[in-house]
Chains A and B, each alone.
Chain A
Amino acid sequence: MFDYLHNLGVENSVGVPDSTMKYFIEQGLKKNKILIATREDESIGIAVGMSLAKSHSLVFMQNAGLANSISTITSLVQLYKIPLIFLVGWRGYLKNDAPEHKKIGEIQSKILKLVGLKSKIVKEDNWKSCCKWAFDQISNGSSCCLVIRRLFDE
C-alpha cells in the first residue's frame, strides 16, 4: 500500500506509528520516504508545510491521535483548505482490544462525520481503489481519510 500510494504521487508520509499499520511504516522506512514526528498535530503541521510546497502528503496515526488532532484539522487543514490524506488505525474495532481503545473505537466514525472528513474503510479486496480514491480527493483539493481496522490481537 505504501508503494502503491507513492507511485500514485503521494510523495511524503509523516506521522506517529500505530501497530495497525506497521508494515506500511516499515516499507516507508526502508525506502527512506517516511518521517516520524513526536505528535499527530505536529505531523499534520509538517505535512501541511510540504503541501504548501506543492508536494502531495499523507499523515498516519492511531485513532487516539485523530482525537488529539481535531483542532488542528479544523483550524489549519480545513481553514486553509490544504489537501491531505489521513491514514488512521482503528483501534478498538475488535471488542477484545486493550481497554484504552474501547471508547475512541466506538466514536471514531462519528468523529470523522462531525469533523467533515470523508473516509473509506480499507479492506483486502478494495485497498487499491481506496488509494486511488484518496489520491483523487487530494488532487482535487480535498482532504480525506483511509481507515485501517485492527483485526489482530497482540
Chain B
Amino acid sequence: MNRMEAIRLIAKKIGNQPIVSANGYVSRDLFETYDKESNFYMIGSMGLASSIALGVAIKNPKKRVYVFDGDGNILMNLGSLATIGMLRQKNLIHIIFDNESHESTGGQPTHTTKLDIKNIGKSTNYRVFETMSKNGLQTILNKIQNTSGPIMIIIKISKSSNTSKRVGYNPTKIRDRFMNYFD
C-alpha cells in the first residue's frame, strides 16, 4: 500500500471530521484525494501537525481530531507525543504514514529504519495499532470507532512513484475554511 491509497481509504472513512496534515507529500496527497474545508494543510513548520491538532482537540472535546503525520515529521517533535500522552487527549487520533524516509527531500532514510515508533507511542499513553495492509487498516478503522484516545495508527507504506501536486490554496484560505468548519 502506498500513501495515496492509505490516505484515500482513511479520509473516506472519517468523512467530514477535522484533519491536520503534515507538510510535504502527506498534505499534497490529502489535497489531491479528499480535499474538504475541515482539512488543515500545514505547509511549513515541519513537525508541528500533532501540536496544532492537540490545540484544536483541547478546545473541541466533543469532536474527534485526526493528525496525518509522517515518520520524519513525528521524529522532529517527539515532545508532542509526551504532551499528548501526559494530557491523555481522548479525542486525538494520530495516524503516521511511515515510509522510513524523507521522501519529499530525496528519500533520505529516517530513524524508523532502525527503531520502532510503536514503543514510543506505548510509553506515552497512546493506544497503538500498526499495519501494512489495506485489510488490516480497515479492521483498525472499525475498531477505533469505540476506542478512547489518544490513538496512534502506524501504517507502513511503500515509497510512491507518483507525486501529487502542491496544495493549491493560499494559507489564509486554508485557515478560513478550517475555522468556518467550527462555526
Contacts and interface: CB of A to CB of B under 8 A. Distances in A.
B126 interface: no
A42 B60 contact: no
B45 A75 contact: yes
B44 A76 contact: yes
Dominant secondary structure at the A interface? helix
A49 B43 contact: no
What is the size category of the interface that chain B forms with chain A? Answer: 20 to 34
Interface in B56-83: 56-60, 77, 79-80, 82-83
B55 A47 contact: yes
Given A46-B52, A46-B54, A71-B45, 6 more contacts: A45-B51, A45-B55, A46-B55, A48-B52, A49-B56, A79-B44
Contacts of A75: 43-45
B48 interface: yes
B53 interface: yes
Interface string A95-130: 000000000000000000000000000000000000
A43 B77 CA distance: 11
Given A41-B48, A72-B48, A49 B54 contact: yes
B40 interface: yes
Given A42-B51, A45-B48, A75-B45, A37 B79 contact: yes
B83 A42 contact: yes
A29 interface: no
A54 interface: yes
A50 B43 contact: no
Interface string B159-179: 000000000000110110011
B42 interface: yes
Interface in A51-75: 51-55, 57, 71-72, 74-75
